[in-house]
């Protein structure tokens, strides 16, 4: 077990990922690979069916401890062929030595859908002000993905994408908050700037192209 | 040495065209003004310069 591979990002639940589950999970059994804190188990179970969570170590939140769990290497899933209707793999592929081997392993056990989230490699927009994605600092990442490289990886494992969409980082339009000094007036000044940025974005003058992750559903 | 591009973050968001550029030019001077009055603070230290003997 390589504990250094565990990500510091594995905290909390992202509402956009919950929305992805709501939209694309099919009824039946679900394998939650690289489940991390395990908290996505609840929105998965709310769709009906059963769940198995797997990870290289049990680091689940106490709230998720009651859910079925097995310690397993994601690149060598010890499960029967075509045994799960859905496979959910949020923020795991970037940590694996061999992502293609993982996808091929998932292909073998997945009857219907694979739901993925991977970090975006490209940071053209924040780089304009000498910033970058916070996930670029995660030293447990073996790689990150462009939309194209993700599609290539999926095709090598015989997965056909149903949907691929960006998940945006909203930090850039709200950046004034990072500049605000302590106190009420500075906070109000930052809010004033952020509101202008949002307005200009709505008017089509500003554009947030800062893609944090790629969400993908494949069959 | 501070990262001086930070108060100009609006320039990263701007789309092509005159009006978007004007919009960014409206936001950035406000950030500079707020910085001058102590409401904004650029604490983004890019490098430490040092001279020793």
pLDDT tens track, chain A, 219 positions: 344 344 444 457 888 999 999 999 999 999 999 999 999 999 999 888 899 999 999 999 998 999 999 999 999 899 999 999 999 999 999 999 999 999 999 999 999 999 999 999 988 777 777 777 878 888 888 999 999 999 999 999 999 999 999 998 877 777 888 888 999 999 999 999 989 988 998 999 998 888 889 999 999
**Structure tokens that stand for A197 in this block:** 């940025």
Residues of B in contact with A206 (CB under 8 A): 10, 13-15, 20, 23-24
Same domain, A43 and A109: yes
DSSP H helices in chain A: 15-24, 41-45, 99-109, 124-127, 147-156, 176-179, 184-202
pTM: 0.80
Same domain, A11 and A107: yes
Q: Among candidates A149, A27, A141, A165, which has minimal Cα distance to A91?
A: A141
Same domain, A197 and A163: no
Q: Among candidates A60, A13, A5, which has minimal Cα distance to A37?
A: A60
Same domain, A45 and A9: yes
**A12 neighbors A42 (Cβ within 8 angstroms):** no
Domain containing residue A178: 174-203
Same domain, A198 and A100: no
**Structure tokens that stand for B39 in this block:** 């409401």
Residues of A in contact with B38 (CB under 8 A): 181, 186
What CATH number should be reported for the domain holding residue A131?
3.40.50.150
Give B39→chain A minimum CA distance, Å.
4
Would you state the pLDDT for residue A199? Answer: 92
**Structure tokens that stand for B38 in this block:** 């102590």
Bridge partners, residue A118, by sequence? A214
Q: Which of B6, B17, B40 has its CB closest to that of A129?
A: B6
Those residues whose C-beta lies under 8 Å from the C-beta of residue A199, and which sit 6 or more positions away, are none
Same domain, A146 and A189: no
Answer whether A137 touches B (CB < 8 Å): no
Answer whether B28 touches A (CB < 8 Å): no
Same domain, A158 and A180: no
Would you state the pLDDT for residue B10? Answer: 82
Inter-chain CB proximity A180 and B14 less than 8 Å: no
Same domain, A125 and A160: yes
Q: How many domains does chain A have?
A: 2
Those residues whose C-beta lies under 8 Å from the C-beta of residue A206, and which sit 6 or more positions away, are A173, A197, A200, B10, B13, B14, B15, B20, B23, B24
Answer whether A168 touches B (CB < 8 Å): no
Same domain, A190 and A153: no
Interface size, chain A vs chain B, as Cβ–Cβ contacts under 8 Å: 89
CA distance A216 to A114: 8
Same domain, A51 and A24: yes
Answer whether A132 touches B (CB < 8 Å): no
Same domain, A44 and A148: yes
Is the predicted ipTM greater than 0.90, yes or no?
Answer: no
Same domain, A158 and A55: yes
Confidence label for B6 from pLDDT (cuts 50, 70 and 90): low
Nearest chain A residue to B44 by CA distance is A179
């Amino acid at each position: 077990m390589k504990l250094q591979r565990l990500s510091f990002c594995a905290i909390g639940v992202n509402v956009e990922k919950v929305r992805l589950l709501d939209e694309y999970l099919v009824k039946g059994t679900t394998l939650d690979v690289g489940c991390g804190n395990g908290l996505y188990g609840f929105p998965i179970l709310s769709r009906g069916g059963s769940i198995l969570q797997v990870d290289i170590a049990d680091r689940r939140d106490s709230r998720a401890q009651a859910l079925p769990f097995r310690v397993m290497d994601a690149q060598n899933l010890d499960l029967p062929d075509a045994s799960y209707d859905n496979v959910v793999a949020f923020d795991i592929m970037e940590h694996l030595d061999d992502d293609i081997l993982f996808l091929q392993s998932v292909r073998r056990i997945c009857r219907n859908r694979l739901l993925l989230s991977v970090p975006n490699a490209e940071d053209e927009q924040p780089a304009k002000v000498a910033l970058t994605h916070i996930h670029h600092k995660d030293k447990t990442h073996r790689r990150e993905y462009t939309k194209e490289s993700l599609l290539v990886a999926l095709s090598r494992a015989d997965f056909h994408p149903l949907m691929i969409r960006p998940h945006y980082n909203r930090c850039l339009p709200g950046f004034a908050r990072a500049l605000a000094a302590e106190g009420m007036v500075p906070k109000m000044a930052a809010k004033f700037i952020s509101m202008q940025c949002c307005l200009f974005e709505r008017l089509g003058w500003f554009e947030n192209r800062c893609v944090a992750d790629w969400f993908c559903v494949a069959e | 040495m501070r990262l001086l591009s930070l108060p100009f973050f609006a320039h990263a968001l701007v789309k092509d065209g005159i009006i978007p550029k004007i919009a960014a030019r409206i936001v950035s001077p406000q950030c500079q003004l707020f910085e001058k009055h102590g409401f904004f603070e650029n604490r983004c230290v890019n490098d430490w310069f040092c001279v020793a003997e």
